[in-house]
C-alpha cells in the first residue's frame, strides 16, 4: 500500500504492516549469524521457542523513517506551539534540561549501585528535598511519589497514619471542594476516607458557610488547591486553616496549580501541613504523554517521620539513603522515584534561582491579558469571580453562546483545531457550564496569545453567522470528529482496558 498523501498532516497514514511488502528484500540475516542463532536455539528449552516467525514488516530504512516522521507530524506538542490545557501547566521545557538530564552520568546509574558510587544523584535529591521545602514553606520533601495523584495519596496516607497514632481513627471525613481535580476525591477514598463535598461561592472561593456546616469531630482534613481550578486565589485561606486545625484536622495542598504563585506565596504560610508539587508541570518536565511524572510531597516538621522511605540524609561527609523513619507510611514506588523529571526540575531551579517569581508574574499577566480579550466576546462569560484577577488559568463559559446558537464548548474546541491551535481543557471544572479552561503559562509570547484570542473571536463570530459551519469541524486535521461518547466509554479503550480488566479479574 502507498500513503495517500505526503503532505505534513497526513490523512490515513497506513500502518507500518500495510506498507510492508514481501516483494521487497529489505533485511537479511547473514550466514555467520544464522549459525550462531541455530546454536543458541538448540540450547533453549523447546517451550521457549517460537512456533511461527515474528511478523516483522518488510520495509526499507528510508520508508520506516518517513512513516514515523509523518506520524510525528500528525501530533501536536508544546515544541510546535502553545498547549493551553488548563489544570495541566504545559509549558515549554528548556532543551538544556533535556540534554543534561539524559547524560550517561544520570541514565547509566543503576538503582542497586552502592551508595558511595551514586553520591551525585543523592546530592541532587537531598538538595531538592530542601529547596522544594523552601519553595512550599514546609520542612522536608519526599521525591518518591511518581505522579501528582501519587503525591496526593502519599499525603492522604500520612494524614490517616498521623490520626491513627493520635488515637483519632474515627476522624474519617476528607473535605474536598466541588471544583477539585478528580484525583483529589479518588486519593482520599483510596486512603480510606469518606469524601465530603463543599461548593464554591459566587466569588469562586470555597463557600465558608457550607464549609462550617460540614466541619466537625469527624473531619480528618481538607484537600485544597490554591489558586483553585478556577484560577482564583482562595482569599480566606487563613480562616479555612483555622477552622480545620480547630477540630484537629490537617490541610492538604494540591500543588498542581502552583505556577501562578511560584516564588511569591507559599502553601506552608497559608496553613497547609502537606503539599505535593507536580514537578512534571510546574518545574518544566514534560507532562502527560511527554514522560514520567514526579509528585514531590512536602510536609511540616511534625509530619517528617511519616514520609515515604527512603529519604536522603547528609552527615556532613556523605549522602545516605535512610529507611528507618520511625512512622513512615512505607514506599510509594520502587527505588528513588522518577529520577529524570527530578533532575530536569533541579536544573530548572538552578537556572532560575531567585527569579523564579517571574514565572508566576508572567503567567498571571498572560492569563489576565487573554481573559480580558475573551470575555469581551459576545456569548462568553465568567461564571465565578467576575471582576477578579486570575492566577495561572482562567475558566470561561460558552453557555450563552450555546443557548444563542447551538454551538457548544466542544464545537468551539474543534474549530480551534481547524485553525491550527491546540484546544484547551473543556467541560472542567464541572461547576462551569460549557467550560473552556485555559492555561497559557509564562512561556507564551504576546503574539501567540493574540493569535489564540483572534481565533476565538473568529469562531464566535462564525457561530452567530453560520453555526453549522462551526459544528462541521474539524476538517483540517488528520482525523475528523470522534464520537466523544464512544471515545469516553472505558470499554472502547481497547488494549489498556482489556489489560486492566484482566488484572482486576485476576
Ligand X SMILES: Cc1ncc(COP(=O)(O)O)c(C=O)c1O
Residues in the site for ligand X, rule: CB under 6 A? 87-88, 147-149, 181, 183, 225, 229, 254, 256-257, 278, 293, 295
Block residue for cell numbers 453567522: 465
Contact predicate 220/210, CB 8 Å: no
Rounded least distance, CB 153 to ligand X, Å = 10
Query: Which residues touch 460 (CB under 8 Å, ≥6 apart)?
Result: 377, 378, 379, 380, 401, 412
Closest CB to ligand X among residues 229, 443: 229
Closest CB to ligand X among residues 297, 366: 297
Closest CB to ligand X among residues 126, 283: 283
- The rounded distance, in Å, linking the Cα atoms of 126 and 132 is 10
- The rounded distance, in Å, linking the Cα atoms of 401 and 398 is 5
Closest CB to ligand X among residues 181, 414: 181
For 484, the 3-state DSSP assignment is: helix
> What DSSP string describes 372-420?
HHHHTSTT-B-SS-TTPPPSSEEEEE-HHHHHHHS--HHHHHHHHHHTT
C-alpha cell at 364: 498571571
Rounded least distance, CB 156 to ligand X, Å = 12
Block residue for cell numbers 508574574: 361
Rounded least distance, CB 259 to ligand X, Å = 11
Rounded least distance, CB 453 to ligand X, Å = 23
Closest CB to ligand X among residues 87, 405: 87
Closest CB to ligand X among residues 129, 257: 257
Rounded least distance, CB 103 to ligand X, Å = 25
Q: Which residue's CB comes closest to ligand X?
A: 148
State the SS3 of 93-160: CCHHHHHHHCCHHHHCCCCCCCHHHCHHHHHHHHHHHHHHHHHHCCCEEECCCCCHHHHHHHHHHHHH
CA-wise closest residue to 145 among 331, 382, 324, 6: 331
The DSSP H or E segment spanning 78 is: none
Closest CB to ligand X among residues 185, 474: 185
Rounded least distance, CB 171 to ligand X, Å = 23
Rounded least distance, CB 247 to ligand X, Å = 25
Rounded least distance, CB 225 to ligand X, Å = 5
Distance separating the N- and C-terminal Cα atoms of the chain: 41
- The rounded distance, in Å, linking the Cα atoms of 505 and 10 is 40
Closest CB to ligand X among residues 163, 279: 279
Amino acid at each position: 500500500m502507498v500513503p495517500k498523501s505526503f503532505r505534513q498532516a497526513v490523512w490515513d497514514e497506513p500502518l507500518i504492516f500495510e506498507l510492508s511488502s514481501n516483494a521487497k528484500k529489505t533485511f537479511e540475516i547473514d550466514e555467520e549469524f544464522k549459525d550462531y542463532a541455530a546454536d543458541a536455539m538448540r540450547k533453549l528449552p523447546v517451550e521457549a521457542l517460537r512456533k511461527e516467525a515474528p511478523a516483522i514488516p518488510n520495509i526499507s530504512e528510508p520508508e520506516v523513517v518517513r512513516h514515523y516522521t509523518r506520524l510525528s507530524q500528525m501530533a501536536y506538542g508544546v515544541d510546535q506551539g502553545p498547549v493551553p490545557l488548563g489544570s495541566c501547566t504545559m509549558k515549554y521545557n528548556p532543551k538544556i534540561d533535556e540534554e543534561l538530564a539524559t547524560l550517561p552520568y544520570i541514565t547509566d546509574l543503576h538503582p542497586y549501585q552502592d551508595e558511595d558510587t551514586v553520591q551525585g544523584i543523592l546530592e541532587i535529591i537531598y538538595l531538592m528535598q530542601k529547596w522544594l521545602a523552601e519553595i512550599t514553606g514546609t520542612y522536608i520533601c519526599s521525591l518518591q511519589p511518581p505522579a501528582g495523584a501519587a503525591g496526593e495519596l502519599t499525603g492522604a496516607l500520612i494524614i490517616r497514619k498521623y490520626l491513627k497514632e493520635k488515637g483519632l481513627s474515627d476522624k474519617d471525613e476528607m473535605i474536598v471542594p466541588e471544583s477539585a481535580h478528580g484525583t483529589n476525591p479518588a486519593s482520599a477514598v483510596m486512603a480510606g476516607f469518606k469524601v465530603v463535598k463543599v461548593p464554591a461561592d459566587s466569588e469562586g472561593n470555597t463557600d465558608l458557610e457550607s464549609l462550617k456546616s460540614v466541619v466537625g469531630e469527624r473531619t480528618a482534613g481538607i484537600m485544597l488547591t490554591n489558586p483553585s481550578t478556577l484560577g482564583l486565589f482562595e482569599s480566606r485561606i487563613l480562616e479555612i486553616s483555622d477552622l480545620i486545625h480547630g477540630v484537629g484536622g490537617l490541610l492538604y495542598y494540591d500543588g498542581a496549580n502552583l505556577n501562578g504563585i511560584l516564588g511569591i506565596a507559599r502553601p506552608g504560610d497559608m496553613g497547609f501541613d502537606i503539599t505535593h508539587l507536580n514537578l512534571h508541570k510546574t518545574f518544566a518536565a514534560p507532562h502527560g504523554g511527554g514522560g514520567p511524572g514526579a509528585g514531590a510531597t512536602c510536609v511540616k516538621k511534625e509530619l517528617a517521620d511519616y514520609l515515604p522511605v527512603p529519604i536522603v540524609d547528609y552527615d556532613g561527609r556523605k549522602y545516605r539513603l535512610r529507611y528507618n523513619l520511625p512512622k513512615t507510611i512505607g514506599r510509594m514506588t520502587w527505588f528513588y522515584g522518577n529520577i529524570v523529571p527530578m533532575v530536569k526540575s533541579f536544573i530548572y531551579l538552578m537556572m532560575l534561582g531567585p527569579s523564579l517569581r517571574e514565572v508566576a508574574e508572567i503567567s498571571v499577566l498572560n492569563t489576565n491579558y487573554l481573559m480580558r480579550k475573551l470575555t469581551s466576546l459576545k456569548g462568553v462569560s465568567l461564571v465565578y469571580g467576575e471582576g477578579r484577577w486570575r492566577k495561572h488559568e482562567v475558566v470561561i463559559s460558552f453557555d450563552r453562546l450555546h443557548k444563542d446558537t447551538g454551538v457548544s464548548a466542544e464545537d468551539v474546541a474543534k474549530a480551534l483545531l481547524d485553525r491550527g491551535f491546540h484546544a484547551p481543557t473543556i467541560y472542567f471544572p464541572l461547576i462551569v457550564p460549557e467550560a473552556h479552561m485555559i492555561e497559557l503559562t509564562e512561556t507564551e509570547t504576546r503574539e501567540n496569545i493574540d493569535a489564540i484570542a483572534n481565533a476565538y473571536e473568529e469562531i464566535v463570530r462564525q457561530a452567530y453567522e453560520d453555526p453549522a459551519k462551526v459544528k462541521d469541524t474539524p476538517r483540517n486535521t488528520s482525523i475528523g470528529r470522534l464520537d466523544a461518547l464512544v471515545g469516553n466509554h472505558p470499554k472502547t479503550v481497547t488494549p489498556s482496558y482489556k489489560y486492566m480488566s484482566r488484572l482486576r479479574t485476576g
